[in-house]
Amino acid sequence: MKIDLAGAWTLALDPMDRGVAESWCASSLPNPAGVVHLPGSLQEQGFGDEISLDTPWTGSIVDRSFFEDARYAPYRRSGAIKVPFWLQPERYYKGVAWYQRTVRIPEEWRGHRLVLRLERPHWQTSVWLDDRPLGCCDSLATPHIYELGCSVAPGEHRLTLRVDNRMIVDVGPNAHSVSDHTQSNWNGVVGCIELSAESPVWLHRVRVFPNVADRSAQVKIDIASVLGRSVQGRVVASARLVNAGGERSLPSVEAEVRFSAEGGLEHSAAGGHVDLYYPLGEDALLWDEFQPALYELTLDLEARSSGDEIIWRDRRVLRFGLREVGVQGTQITLNGRPIFLRGTLECCIFPLTGYPPTDVESWRRILRICKAHGLNHIRFHSWCPPEAAFLAADELGFYYQVECPVWANQGAAIGEGRPVDAWLFQEGWRILDAYGNHPSFLLMAYGNEPAGRFEEYLAEWVTYWRKRDPRRLYTGGAGWPMIEENQYHNTPIPRIQQWGAGLASRINAKPPETMTDYRAFVEQAGAPVISHEIGQWCVYPNFDEIAKYVGALKPKNFEIFRDFLEANHMGDQAKDFLLASGKLQALCYKEEIESALRTSGFGGFQLLDLHDFPGQGTALVGVLDPFWDEKGYITAEQFRRFCNSTVPLARMQKRYWRTDETFQAEVQLFHFGPTPLVDAALEWRFLGDDGTVWAHGKWLLPGRVEVASQSIVGEIRCALADFPPARKYTLILTLDTGGERYENDWDLWVFAPRLELPVTSQTVLASSIDEAMHKLQTEGRVLLLLDPAQVNTSSQIGFSSVFWNTAWTRGQPPHTLGILCNPVHPVFADFPTEYHSNWQWWELIHGAAAMQIDQLPPALRPLVQPIDTWFEARRLALLFEAQLGAGRLMVCSMDLRTNLNERLVARQFLYSVLRYMEGDAFAPRVAIDKEQLCSLVKS
């Protein structure tokens, strides 16, 4: 019997925290602010203060330029504040809020035990029934449950909630459980709010421990009683398979139990605790990502009087999966078989509400999108999702890493005797009690990237939970430390780009290849390794996305960045910047993920992120937006080609080849599918841009390819003599298993071994402005090759996209998001390119400098245009043409002079530029003067 308390509640704000001392619970709330609807937050309903420069945000602000830089002055005006570092609520309130309503207890509830359940409050709640205090709760992860007792009289009562969203325990201002960086620091209750009449003898805690070896489950039941007298009882358990091929009921199991006269919770077998052994049958189905078989367990408790009359009943229904997680060497196993986690983070990003959904369908949608992109795993960064998220994952076969809602740095710390140390153990118990039976709950960490004296503390924390609940694996922290007690390490690997690496990172300093893996690191780790936060590749803001923010949080940051772009005369290029940078972002993610898949014995990866992270300066790192929608440059199907349970891989030493070479590549097969592959075939082919097949081959895989294989299964050797040079080709690998086809592809470029540059009758190459000016005075044509070291620019260019974002990384290079060009422009007639960066541009961009052309006429559009970080929106160029005096000028800040016999791409590019400049098509329309030209170089 339940009463749904959703609806209108009277709201009173208490910013001075006087309500307890003044006994606001004893009568109607004083000075009510209005009526608020729960579930919901008060901020989303228009309550709170206007945003100002003094808004007491919850979250660190690394880049202070908003408060200091003149560029942000228009956005600091009172009443029109726009912040650049995260999504912005219309109103803000941090403090105590009181919620009150009348509840009517029906007569048939007399003598029952009444229970109030508040799902997902934020943060600390206190409750009064009339003027009787019922206690308080400070869990960030689990429902707040209040016992009202058995003596509540039928009739009307006043129910009062006090909700405090200040930092109750210092979990860290950037923890996604509390931070304005992502979900926002809201006040309210956003899940189920209900009052129920229940038995005074009840099933207090039920834990199901599956046993895969004998296809059974051990059910551990704690029973509580407030009857105040001894009672005999019986527990009956019945189970049924509810999916994976239809329902199937199993025989019931029962046990006798006795409740003590003292009441309360007994922990002895003779008192209020009972263990049930439940056999599921030899044909019981296991739970995993491929067959998420779920069993529904119903427990019925009957309490009997001395005359054997049933006086109270209680029922608990829950679902579980028959699965066991373990460790085998450097890999995580599920049901005895190694698995590979292909994951993304979820950082509590829900722009329409500012808080997570508590309905199952919303989570089904998210997980279906993740699965469509080839993922099987989510890490919940410094927060724990609600029950609905676990239910959806159980159904769909998805693996979770859950974390206590803590990110103890930026002033916070653990292991130093602060209140958070004890609170972490309390919260851990609450999380495991609430969600521990879910098969999707595979991994658990304290939280994110700890500070303080954390190693000894986390060693104790991991050891504690390993002993008390072995149904999942535990690690000290996401990020660090790598301690002996960890059952797996969730740690950074030496990936292709990381914090502090800048232009010295693998992707920016080393020519492109597809050979690198992380095997050496994994072998030294001593336990399974799941990579921590790989990716973090940025894309340009999608300003069309602004219209989607119709809820609690608004993208004022996007409005600022759009203004910056328009002020620098590039507003019409926004969509092109999005698509071009998106193509590079996808390229970076492909290499990042394939490096992980190439690593035998690896535990898996966690992307940061499949969808955008709106905080920490605005980190647009997703191929999806914050609403989990595509942005228009890569589809789920395309992403799944290189991110899936089975992926063919090509190991190549390089991306650029000569026609007098023989192409070589090892073929590796990543296979973590449901069953071994038998009689599978692999086909390879080289495809030209026009669809022509230039070479192909096929072979049958010998014998069986077992599950959890990452073996080399063949080699491709192909002479390139017949390939027309100066073209892009695509190597396509197709795996045919007889029932499924898996395909993957890689672009590579073929060039002639020798190439004579065009004889230039009109064009002169110059290396200085003075040299160029001399020729331009006589109506000449000049290719000015600027020394990158002399270019006057504040933007550092690299091949890769921006890592995380330049504000939060304090300007870590590169500052650019790839290049934009027009591939049909005649300057590219002899150079293979798309409109965006691809791997052939690595050789040209490496060591180049981005010319800052803000002083040049706005009408001048570069032929090769780097896309600058949205925080600066500088007009940049690597190649542009202009009139100067009587002459025609081409200016390039890429190295087109050095070692051209070995630098095939640079030589081909120079060839194409010179051919263009010698022809009639070279007729620049925009004029510049010498002063403007001189602005490009250092004094």
DSSP string, 728-753: EEEEEEEEE-SS-EEEEEEEEEEE-S
| CA 271/CA 263 separation, integer angstroms | 10
Both structure tokens of 700: 């049958």
Give the pLDDT confidence score for residue 257 in this predicted structure.
78
Nearest to 159, CA basis, from 117, 206, 221: 117
Domain match, 883 and 795 both: yes
Choose one of 294, 320, 346: the last residue of a domain: 320
Whether the bond into 814 is cis, omega within 30 of 0: yes
Judge contact between 209 and 229, C-beta under 8 A: no
Domain match, 269 and 344 both: no
Phi, psi for 300 (deg, rounded to 5): -115, 125
What is the DSSP secondary-structure string of 2-65?
A: EEE--EEEEEEEETT--TTTTTGGGSSPSS--EEEEESEETGGGT-SEEP-TT---SS-----H
Judge contact between 442 and 403, C-beta under 8 A: no
Domain match, 800 and 901 both: yes
Residue 573 lies in a domain: yes
Residue 639 lies in a domain: no
Q: Residues near 139 by Cβ (< 8 Å), separated by ≥ 6?
A: 427, 430
Domain match, 348 and 269 both: no
Using DSSP's 3-state secondary structure scheme, residue 689 falls into coil
Choose one of 154, 169, 198: the last residue of a domain: 198
End-to-end Cα separation, the chain, in angstroms = 81
Give the pLDDT confidence score for residue 774 in this predicted structure.
87
Domain match, 567 and 686 both: no
Residue 440 lies in a domain: yes
Residue 844 lies in a domain: yes
Domain match, 150 and 14 both: yes
Number of helices and strands in the chain (H, E)? 14, 56
Residue 327 lies in a domain: no
Q: Residues near 882 by Cβ (< 8 Å), separated by ≥ 6?
A: 856, 860, 889, 891, 924, 926, 927, 928
Domain match, 313 and 404 both: no
What is the DSSP secondary-structure string of 426-479?
A: HHHHHHHHHHTT-TTEEEEES-BS--BSHHHHHHHHHHHHHHH-TTSEEES-BS
55-111 residue pLDDT tens = 999 999 999 999 999 999 999 999 999 999 999 999 999 999 999 999 999 999 999
Domain match, 226 and 316 both: yes
Phi, psi for 396 (deg, rounded to 5): -95, -5
Give the pLDDT confidence score for residue 105 in this predicted structure.
97
- Domain count for the chain, please give it: 5
**How far from chain centre, in Å, is Cα 276?**
40
Greatest alpha-carbon span in the chain: 117
| CA 438/CA 847 separation, integer angstroms | 52
Nearest to 105, CA basis, from 201, 7, 1, 191: 1
Give the pLDDT confidence score for residue 339 in this predicted structure.
98
Choose one of 722, 751, 780: the last residue of a domain: 751
| CA 622/CA 632 separation, integer angstroms | 12
Which residue(s) pair with 873 in the sheet? none
Q: Name residue, tokens 């800052």.
A: 852
Helix (H) or strand (E) holding 104: strand 96-105
297: domain CATH number is: 2.60.40.10
Judge contact between 50 and 80, C-beta under 8 A: no
565: domain CATH number is: 3.20.20.80
Global pTM value: 0.97
User: Distances in Å between the alpha carbon of 685 and those of 261, 691, 697, 719?
Assistant: 79, 11, 6, 13
Domain match, 746 and 768 both: no
Q: Where are the beta strands (DSSP E) in 572-645?
A: 604-608
Q: What are the 10-residue block averages of pLDDT along the chain, 939 residues in total?
A: 97 97 96 97 97 96 94 96 97 98 97 97 98 97 97 97 98 97 96 97 95 96 85 89 80 79 40 86 96 96 82 94 97 98 98 98 98 98 98 98 96 95 98 98 98 97 97 97 98 93 95 96 95 97 98 98 98 98 98 98 97 97 98 98 98 98 98 96 96 96 92 96 97 95 98 93 92 87 96 96 95 97 98 98 98 97 98 98 95 97 97 97 96 94
Domain match, 385 and 411 both: yes
Give the pLDDT confidence score for residue 375 in this predicted structure.
98
703: domain CATH number is: 2.60.40.640
Domain match, 399 and 491 both: yes
Helix, strand, coil share (%) of the chain residues, nearest 5: 20, 35, 45
Both structure tokens of 445: 């960490």
The residue range of the domain holding 864 is: 763-934
Residue 118 lies in a domain: yes
| CA 654/CA 665 separation, integer angstroms | 10
Give the pLDDT confidence score for residue 251 in this predicted structure.
87
Residue 634 lies in a domain: no
Domain match, 194 and 220 both: no
Give the pLDDT confidence score for residue 270 in this predicted structure.
32
Q: Is the dihedral of CA 878, 879, 883, 888 positive or negative?
A: positive
Give the pLDDT confidence score for residue 260 in this predicted structure.
59
Give the pLDDT confidence score for residue 417 in this predicted structure.
96
Residue 918 lies in a domain: yes
Both structure tokens of 157: 């009562």
